Amino acid sequence: MDTVILARAFFGTSLGFHIIFATLGVGLPLMIVIAEIIHQIKGDNDYSIMAKRWTKAFAVLLGVAIPSGTIVGVQLSLLWPGFMEIVGKVISLPFQIEIFAFFIEALFMSIYVYAADRLPRYFRLISVFFVAFGAVASGILITAVNTWMNTPDGFKIKPDGTIYDVQPWDAFFNPSFVSSAFHVAVTAYMTGAFAIASVAAFKLLKKRSDRERAYHLKGLFLSLTVAFLMSFISALSGHHSAQILHQYAPEKLAAAEGLFETQRYAPLAIGGYTDPKTEEVKYGIEIPWALSWLAAGKFDTEVKGLYEFPRETWPPFYVHTLFNLMVGLGTLLLGLAAIALLYWWFFVKKRGRPFPKWLLWFLVLSGPMSMLCIEFGWVFSCSGRQPWTIYRVQTTAEAATKNEDLGVLFLLFLFLYALLSVLTILILTAYFKRNPVSKDMDKISG
């Protein structure tokens, strides 16, 4: 493998691993805050138990999120030194502000975990709020750098590569920042909620005491409500992000849709794959006019096709599949949450019937599916930008390290990620086995 591909594989793996923990690290604190608030309003102890147990899981996940985030942050300089040289000059601001968000999260996480028993209730709520704030702020700030790679702004560059006329805040608030950062935050909330719905649904599959069933039903209802809201907003913001592509990165949208000819009344291709030989989408369903309408709200919108651009700057064809998987899974999840909530309203709440097994099994899958959605989205966003690292400014080959020792290090880190994954699962199961929810309930009532 040549160094550039190896660097991409290495960094992609690191990022893909970190994203799992980072996403839950943003999503779970929101759920904890909501549970704490409901507890304060309703006085129902079950919500306090939820907050406590979710915090426990969150703390374990943070044990991987922090080091994997440190790894990704530092590996940027190790694997993409050419890229970081430009980043340092133009877009180091969000990185630096992220450190402050990171500090806020770390400080208040320690306070919430290690000093909870010495704090008044309201201060516990304040600290968990700051944890949630720090987490989502980190996510948004790091996305600022990624959006700048997609739609670079705030600097000028001479043909010899010299950078001048830098406007750091313009780089920060580049054209796709607001839309994508919002999308990242909301989808993280959606995934955190679905992850909790997964666990609650799983717990409801087995026979349990009425007391425990009631507890898990509350958890399921709360998480489904949040998940439904967030997936609905995600769909809208995803749509907005696609419109930004139409405006600022047309070849990415063209590749996502497998569109080759520039046209008005462009069709939307769902499913299938882009055949590199015939240069068309095969086995897909075409909805006439739909792409033009989605791209800018009018059927006669002209959507640029790939032929408009030099062939060597075409993104890889598989991004069509990634894009479909992301949108498809997201839509499926939105529908699933809606069905489950309707079922809850008409049958569980009004008639006291339990959830049917098949629906619970689907809900068990919702967390992993939501996570897959996020992964597909990131891989789409980054592969769809190829061959560029900074769109139309720097190619990935120019950005990559020239060091040839990557192979062994890649293996070392693959081992590390496997080890951490296994350990995380072991620790979580060991802890929750030793501390079942009944124990927490006894503690509170006794």
Kindly identify the residues of this chain, within the stretch 359-418, that bind another protein according to CB under 8 A: 401-403, 405-406, 409, 412-413, 416
Considering only 9, 33, 37, 97, the residue that binds another protein (CB under 8 A) is 97
Report the site for another protein in 167-196 (rule: CB under 8 A). Answer: 167-169
Interface with another protein by CB under 8 A: which range of 24-32, 114-122, 348-356, 377-385? 114-122
Residues 133-172, one symbol each (x = binds another protein by CB under 8 A, - = not), give ----------------------x-------xx-xxxx---
Kindly state the smallest distance separating residue 268's Cβ from another protein, in Å. Answer: 41
As a whole number of angstroms, the distance between CA 330 and CA 236 comes to: 11
Considering only 13, 45, 92, 263, the residue that binds another protein (CB under 8 A) is 92
Contact in structure between 16 and 372 (CB atoms under 8 Å) = no
Report the site for another protein in 220-239 (rule: CB under 8 A). Answer: none
Kindly state the smallest distance separating residue 98's Cβ from another protein, in Å. Answer: 8
Is the CB of 173 or the CB of 309 nearer to another protein?
A: 173
Contacts with 132 (C-beta within 8 Å, 6 or more apart), sequence order: 29, 30, 32, 33
Considering only 3, 23, 75, 147, the residue that binds another protein (CB under 8 A) is 75
Question: For 265, phi and psi rounded to 5 degrees?
Answer: 50, 45
Q: How far is CA 255 from the centre of its chain?
A: 22
List beta partners, residue 303.
Answer: 263
| Tokens 């809208």 -> residue | 236
Kindly state the smallest distance separating residue 60's Cβ from another protein, in Å. Answer: 5
With binding defined as CB under 8 A, does residue 12 bind another protein? no
Is the CB of 165 or the CB of 210 nearer to another protein?
A: 165
Report the site for another protein in 51-70 (rule: CB under 8 A). Answer: 56, 59-60, 62-64, 66-70
With binding defined as CB under 8 A, does residue 425 bind another protein? no
Considering only 108, 228, 323, 388, the residue that binds another protein (CB under 8 A) is 108
Kindly state the smallest distance separating residue 56's Cβ from another protein, in Å. Answer: 7
Is the CB of 128 or the CB of 259 nearer to another protein?
A: 128
Provide the H-helix boundaries in 43-120. 45-79, 81-90, 92-114
Contacts 24+ apart (CB under 8 A), 38-42: 38/222, 40/121, 40/125
Residue among 262, 256, 260 nearest 241 (CA): 256
Contact in structure between 131 and 29 (CB atoms under 8 Å) = yes
Question: For 76, phi and psi rounded to 5 degrees?
Answer: -55, -45
Kindly state the smallest distance separating residue 184's Cβ from another protein, in Å. Answer: 20
With binding defined as CB under 8 A, does residue 73 bind another protein? yes
As a whole number of angstroms, the distance between CA 381 and CA 238 comes to: 12
- How crowded is residue 263: how many other Cβ atoms within 10 Å of its Cβ? 15
| Tokens 């923990």 -> residue | 21
Kindly state the smallest distance separating residue 100's Cβ from another protein, in Å. Answer: 4
Considering only 27, 82, 152, 238, the residue that binds another protein (CB under 8 A) is 82
Q: How far is CA 424 from the centre of its chain?
A: 19
Is the CB of 9 or the CB of 107 nearer to another protein?
A: 107
Question: Would residue 283 be called left, alpha or beta, if left means φ above 0 and alpha means ψ between -120 and 50 degrees?
Answer: left
As a whole number of angstroms, the distance between CA 123 and CA 249 comes to: 46
Kindly state the smallest distance separating residue 105's Cβ from another protein, in Å. Answer: 9
Kindly state the smallest distance separating residue 195's Cβ from another protein, in Å. Answer: 18
Kindly state the smallest distance separating residue 163's Cβ from another protein, in Å. Answer: 6
Kindly state the smallest distance separating residue 220's Cβ from another protein, in Å. Answer: 24
Residue among 161, 9, 13, 7 nearest 80 (CA): 7
Considering only 74, 285, 418, 444, the residue that binds another protein (CB under 8 A) is 74
